[in-house]
Structure 1
Amino acid sequence: MSVDPSVRQRFQRLRWTVYAILILAYMMVFFHRMAPGVVSADLMASFQTSGAALGSLAAMYYYIYTAMQIPSGVLADTLGSRISVTIGCLVAGLGSILFGLAETFEMASAGRFLVGLGVSVVFVGLMRSNTQWFSERYYGAISGLTLLLGNVGSILAAGPLALLLKTTSWRSVFVGIGLLSLIVAVLTAVFVRSKPQDAGLPTVQELDGLPAHPPRDRHWALDLRGVMTTRAVWPSFFVMFGITGSLFAFAGLWGVPLMRDGFGLDRTQASLYTTAALAGFAIGSFALGSLSDHLGRRKVVIVGASALSVVLWLALILLPWGPGWTGLTLYALLGMAAGGFVVGYAAAKEVVPPGVAGMAIALVNTGLFLGAAIMQPAFGWVMDLTWDGTMTGDVRLYAMSDFRNGLWLSGGFALLGLIGALFVHETRCRNITLPATAAANSGNQPNRPT
């Protein structure tokens, strides 16, 4: 099928407009996720909390985010990315403002809850949008680029946020990011389209001269059941749970306190190490996603990255590292190895029908945030077990031996992720529920690999 060049140009312009707005929303998702690690001392002083309580406050985001992943997938596949992300940004913006203005621990928890509720739909909506606007053969690379750009938000929530806090309060920062979220909600409602057809354009498959993917033709509950019972989806869930969940818990809360309390660095210096981890994660996501597309393989990349992650957690525990190039290198490599998780999204969506890709992405993404939600307070809890009672003002001061207990727990989670990676189904970078040419309109039921 021949497509008019002007139609292709219009498609390209709208595709990148949609992508840019949703990426901006996703940057704020990462900012909210990682910022508590830099303001941890401020939060402990403001609300006079223990390590476990601080972990619970930070993890409030993850609790609701985790619970909302399956509903987010359903919303992305039914209502579309435009509606779900617009509503999500509105709720997150209000939650961030409440968090910044909170005078009590309970109000802060409520604000953090609303932030998690709002941003929970953004990533799945973005990844679902990518399945509509980008060719399947580049999905690993575009997923990696998505994580690379999204991680700009997490990098801003590390070193740059620490510098900003020298001139303004943590409360002003969260009120400001809340107002920005409200602006992005408006941009999403006005400019984003969930799929090309909504703008009168051909599908990405039709631009390649192929038939469009078959649409969903059943109630969403039946589609969700089909995804949940597709065994080949679940290994990626456990990769997310163990590998990326442990990294997010560490970089998002405990990585800065480790360098501050364990090695005596100030907050700005300590935040450079989590910045290195998050930069490594961003680069690793893009590099490993692109490598997977180039090789035409998913499993080998996921297994290799997972194994490296386990080795690096052990290195943090056992090697004689410290501030300087050894610490920065280990933090950066830990983030880079965890970036291999991005291939899990492609592996998951390629074992279910295209019409339910959002649900599959949401299911495996649940594992990531369930892992982080468990790890953030668990890390603080195991440190509290051996804490010797030392305080600096109103803030608990942990010893390096306390942090090492948490690192052992993180390494155990990563090992579970590696075991999951060994069971990932190799799709060879194509949707295995459709003919290899994608030329047949073959219905919507998965040929479930076992």
Structure 2
Amino acid sequence: MNSFKLQKKPARIYYLAWIAISLFYFYQYILRVSPGVMVVELRQTFKLTAEEFSSLGAIYLYAYSLLQIPLGFILDRMGIRRVIILSILTCLAGTCFFAFAKNIWMLQAGRFLIGIGSAPAFICALKLVSDYLPEKDRGLLMGATLSIGTIGALLSGNLLVTVLENSGWQNSLLFCVVLGGIILAIVLMLVPASSARTTVGDFPLVHLREGLRVIFKQKEILIYAIIAIGVYTPLCVLADLWGTAFLMEKFSLERAQAAQTSLYMYGGLTIGSLLVPWYSAKWGNFRETIQVCAIGLICSILALLYLKGIAIWQLTILLTLIGIFCGAEMVCFTGAAHYTASAYSGLALGVVNTLNMLGGALVQQLIGWYLDFQWKGRYGADGARLYGPEELTAAFSLLLILIAVCCFLTVMLPKREKTRKPLASPSRG
């Protein structure tokens, strides 16, 4: 007897549940990009070096990524509702901890908690779509999930800067706590308790090892996971962390304008995460789609870093294009799911997201280290280290190498994805 039985409920209940989880994903993006908006205040208040400031983004991603594989297993056993509720509560606790931090260690601890709490948002939405909603809608809804999150990042620029400049960086974080409480109430109302796919006894621990063994033997899943790192890192480096500082230095923008302009990458991702996976799924040309997006990323980042005299409207177009091309990240998730059986859907998506986010964290740390390595010894009036546009440009050039390597890996993928090749289902006694 198949122990994986769906709870029979009207489809509209799961669409509403998807909306509620997507709102949480929207919310965690606001928390995710907040250090980039508050870069001036945080570096002034705590006298942070580039590597220390980068650690605030990297620690978030380390916590986020390392939880993904056990999270897939936990989801397959516990269900979505309980995981999401605990996740929101953890985000709220981490945000409060960050707001009242007295030193760098407390800042890092708060970001670690936020990373843990944010980790289930995306994977829960993908699992709900993969397990409970019609197959014809899955590609669109997976892309729409990412789009909803990126709208949160896009809107957070002006919102956080407005609250920050009027009330201070700590009060802007407390505002986020209130917003998180509202999201929690919506989740409690809309996500059904029956969205678990298995019971605890249905999925013994031995299947976690078995599932990982089968997934890591599937070459295509690992290739898609590694490629996702290359098309994701421009966002986590520029939009999440260093974009505001870079635009202020290189293009002499005011902080509010720089923060909002850098987040146009998320505006582009909102478009790209819908159109790019839809196009690739419709024609089955995952490899070619990723290649085009990787080449587009390389050209756009080259222009951003090395062209001079760029007008603000041209800068906006460049950043939007970078976001659109980063939509290839969703093609990587879709491609990996193509080789995954439903019994391992949560676990396989967790593996892909783990490698994706862990790679992003490592790149953030590398760029922070490289900035400190080539630092010219200049300090600002507040005592914080100053990094000029030349140092920032050189550090961000590392992104070009990573994207080029990932683009090269696409030659190992099949030219067309037409027939689904599911992994073997776990054995059951």
Instruction: Report the TM-score when normalising by structure 2.
Output: 0.90
1:42 aligns with 2:41: yes
The aligned amino acid for 1:18 is A
Deviation per CA, 1:410-437: give whole Å up to 9, x if none. 1112122212333334673663228xxx
The aligned amino acid for 1:155 is L
CA contact (8 A) 1:132 1:196 kept: no
The aligned amino acid for 2:24 is A
CA contact (8 A) 1:353 1:431 kept: no
5 Å-filtered alignment, 1:96-111, equals 96-111=95-110
The aligned amino acid for 1:101 is F
5 Å-filtered alignment, 1:68-87, equals 68-87=67-86
**In structure 1, the residue corresponding to 2:412 is in which secondary structure?**
coil
Q: Which residue in 2 is equivalent to 1:284?
A: 272
The aligned amino acid for 1:83 is R
5 Å-filtered alignment, 1:18-37, equals 18-37=17-36
**In structure 1, the residue corresponding to 2:167 is in which secondary structure?**
coil
CA contact (8 A) 1:137 1:293 kept: no
The 3 A distance-change label for structure 1 pair 385 and 219 is closer
The 3 A distance-change label for structure 1 pair 81 and 426 is farther
Q: Which residue in 1 is equivalent to 2:296?
A: 308
Q: Distance between the aligned counterparts of 1:415 and 1:300, measured in 2?
A: 14
The 3 A distance-change label for structure 1 pair 71 and 241 is same
Q: 2:390 aligns with which of 378, 401, 406?
A: 401
Query: Shift in Å at residue 83 of structure 1?
Result: 1.8
The aligned amino acid for 2:307 is L
Q: Distance between the aligned counterparts of 2:183 and 2:86, measured in 1?
A: 10
Q: Distance between the aligned counterparts of 1:224 and 1:240, measured in 2?
A: 19
Q: 1:255 aligns with which of 243, 250, 253?
A: 243
Unaligned runs of 5+ in 2: 1-6
Q: Distance between the aligned counterparts of 1:189 and 1:221, measured in 2?
A: 33
Report which of the two has the higher share of helix. 2
The aligned amino acid for 1:258 is F
Quote the sequence identity (%): 24
Q: 2:349 aligns with which of 354, 358, 361?
A: 361
The 3 A distance-change label for structure 1 pair 166 and 249 is same
Q: Distance between the aligned counterparts of 2:11 and 2:64, measured in 1?
A: 32
1:232 aligns with 2:232: no
CA contact (8 A) 2:247 2:262 kept: no
Q: Which residue in 1 is equivalent to 2:327?
A: 339
Query: Shift in Å at residue 120 of structure 1?
Result: 0.9
Deviation per CA, 1:344-385: give whole Å up to 9, x if none. 111111102111111111111112211221122322222222
CA contact (8 A) 1:86 1:186 kept: no
Q: Distance between the aligned counterparts of 1:107 and 1:317, measured in 2?
A: 34
The 3 A distance-change label for structure 1 pair 195 and 301 is farther
Q: Distance between the aligned counterparts of 2:195 and 2:418, measured in 1?
A: 23
Query: Shift in Å at residue 340 of structure 1?
Result: 1.3
Q: Distance between the aligned counterparts of 1:427 and 1:190, measured in 2?
A: 42
CA contact (8 A) 1:132 1:195 kept: no
Instruction: Report the TM-score when normalising by structure 1.
Output: 0.86
The 3 A distance-change label for structure 1 pair 40 and 110 is same
Q: Distance between the aligned counterparts of 2:368 and 2:422, measured in 1?
A: 44
CA contact (8 A) 1:58 1:253 kept: yes
CA contact (8 A) 1:97 1:179 kept: no
The 3 A distance-change label for structure 1 pair 67 and 420 is same
Q: Distance between the aligned counterparts of 2:413 and 2:29, measured in 1?
A: 27
Q: Distance between the aligned counterparts of 1:113 and 1:72, measured in 2?
A: 16
The aligned amino acid for 1:360 is A
CA contact (8 A) 1:26 1:150 kept: yes
The 3 A distance-change label for structure 1 pair 216 and 334 is same
The 3 A distance-change label for structure 1 pair 414 and 194 is farther
5 Å-filtered alignment, 1:161-310, equals 161-193=160-192, 219-310=207-298
The aligned amino acid for 2:161 is A
Q: Distance between the aligned counterparts of 1:197 and 1:389, measured in 2?
A: 55
The 3 A distance-change label for structure 1 pair 424 and 29 is farther
The 3 A distance-change label for structure 1 pair 321 and 18 is farther
CA contact (8 A) 2:81 2:195 kept: no
Query: How many residues align structurally?
Result: 415
Q: Which residue in 2 is equivalent to 1:374?
A: 362
Q: Distance between the aligned counterparts of 2:286 and 2:142, measured in 1?
A: 13
1:444 aligns with 2:425: yes
Query: Which range moves more in the overlay, 140-149 or 319-328?
Result: 319-328
Q: Distance between the aligned counterparts of 1:136 and 1:297, measured in 2?
A: 18
Q: Distance between the aligned counterparts of 1:445 and 1:351, measured in 2?
A: 15
CA contact (8 A) 1:243 1:418 kept: no
Query: Shift in Å at residue 45 of structure 1?
Result: 1.1
Q: Which residue in 2 is equivalent to 1:3?
A: none
Q: Which residue in 1 is equivalent to 2:3?
A: none
1:385 aligns with 2:373: yes
Q: Which residue in 1 is equivalent to 2:403?
A: 414
Query: Shift in Å at residue 293 of structure 1?
Result: 2.9
Query: Shift in Å at residue 322 of structure 1?
Result: 2.8
The aligned amino acid for 1:444 is S
Unaligned runs of 5+ in 1: 1-6, 199-214, 435-442
The 3 A distance-change label for structure 1 pair 197 and 170 is closer
The aligned amino acid for 2:403 is A
Query: Shift in Å at residue 125 of structure 1?
Result: 1.2
1:317 aligns with 2:305: yes
The 3 A distance-change label for structure 1 pair 86 and 422 is farther
Q: CA RMSD in A?
A: 2.5
The aligned amino acid for 1:35 is S
